[in-house]
Amino acid sequence: MDRLAAIEIFIRVVDTGSFSAAARHFDIGQPAVSKAVAQLEEWLGVKLLLRSTRALTPTEAGQNFYQRARRAVEEADEAVLAARGTAAGLTGKLRVSAAVCFARLHIVPRLPAFLELHPDLDLELVLDDRNIDLVEEGIDLALRMGELADSNMTARRIGIARRRVLATPAYFERHGMPQTPDDLSAHRAVVYTCDLGGGEDWRFRKEATELLVRLQGRVRISATEGLRAAVFADMGLVVASEWAFWPELKSGVVVSVMDDWMLPPIPLSAVYPTGRLASSKARQFTAFVEACLAPEFAPERMTGHGRPQAA
């Protein structure tokens, strides 16, 4: 077996964690997969995989080789696509990192259309509200909210959303609607504690007026899904991004108040691992996400006023 074929088999073994899954993918016998990996290890002079009865785990050398080999194979695939033209579909595997709630609301429901266009592409969504290490986790593309602290990363802003003060109509019926930031001191708040976009202190701005307000609340929640559940249970009002409540804002399940007062918006960026060119797969998936978000969350749509309009 030639070395390129052995490398592709090794990559598939690491991706799937299984000799048998790799064998099914290439339509060959499992012994052929084992032999290819063994030949690759012999050629390289290092152990690439640790085998046990339950799992296959890359060694440190195996993980380093996997990352570079996968990149090389992807670049070769892109060269083929470039030669064939843009009509050819994407192939291989794409790992995308995104926040849990954002992916559930804005990406996953629209994935069938993207996957139908690219039947030979395997997509893995790594959902985590934390900013994970892209290189260490083998991520091709991360969708990150907020201002980016690491200026060395390759990034492109693809969307932006307002932050709003919102709650259910039932909550406002019982406690009244605040008209100004000062009114918030009389309300119960659910405080979102995520480092990337939460807190209890908020700076409101209206024309030349600026007010700093501290929310008053007994409940503090670190995950967006929990924040949504608390709001739907009428536990209080929140300061949250439109990303987290867009379907409910459009349907009226939650209501935004004080819309003439502005809060810092929260951008969405497509981020690629440091020191790497974005693959064709990552670029096309970025374009797909950007198209899904337009026009409601287009970077240029921030006008400063008004409620979200139904799509």
Residue 76 belongs to a domain: no
Q: Which helix (H) or strand (E) holds 139?
A: none
Which two tokens mark 280?
């064709």
Q: What is the CATH number of the domain that holds 286?
A: 3.40.190.10
Residue 206 belongs to a domain: yes
Instruction: Please tell me which residue, 306 or 201, carries the higher pLDDT value.
Output: 201
Q: Let me know whether 130 and 170 are in one domain.
A: no
Q: How much of the chain exceeds pLDDT 90, in percent?
A: 52
Q: Let me know whether 197 and 149 are in one domain.
A: no
- Which residues is 157 bridged to in the sheet? 269
Q: Let me know whether 142 and 107 are in one domain.
A: yes
Which two tokens mark 54?
């339950």
**pLDDT digit string, tens, across residues 19-68:** 888 888 788 999 999 999 999 999 999 999 988 767 788 899 998 898 88
**pLDDT digit string, tens, across residues 120-176:** 899 999 998 888 778 777 788 999 988 877 656 678 899 999 999 999 999 999 999
pLDDT > 60? residue 311: no
Residue 306 belongs to a domain: no
Q: How many domains does the chain have?
A: 3
Residue 219 belongs to a domain: yes
pLDDT > 60? residue 305: no
What's the whole-number mean pLDDT along residues 286-303? Answer: 81
pLDDT > 70? residue 250: yes
State residue 80's pLDDT score. Answer: 66
pLDDT > 70? residue 244: yes
pLDDT > 80? residue 85: no
Cα-Cα end-to-end distance for the chain: 54
Q: Let me know whether 181 and 137 are in one domain.
A: no
Residue 29 domain boundaries = 3-66
Residue 311 belongs to a domain: no
Residue 128 belongs to a domain: yes
State residue 57's pLDDT score. Answer: 86
Q: Let me know whether 170 and 231 are in one domain.
A: yes
Q: Let me know whether 143 and 273 are in one domain.
A: yes
Band (308; pLDDT cuts 50, 70, 90): very low
The chain-wide mean pLDDT, for the chain, equals: 86
Residue 280 belongs to a domain: yes
Contact 308, 242 (CB under 8 A): yes
Q: Let me know whether 216 and 239 are in one domain.
A: yes
Q: What is the CATH number of the domain that holds 13?
A: 1.10.10.10
Residue 278 belongs to a domain: yes
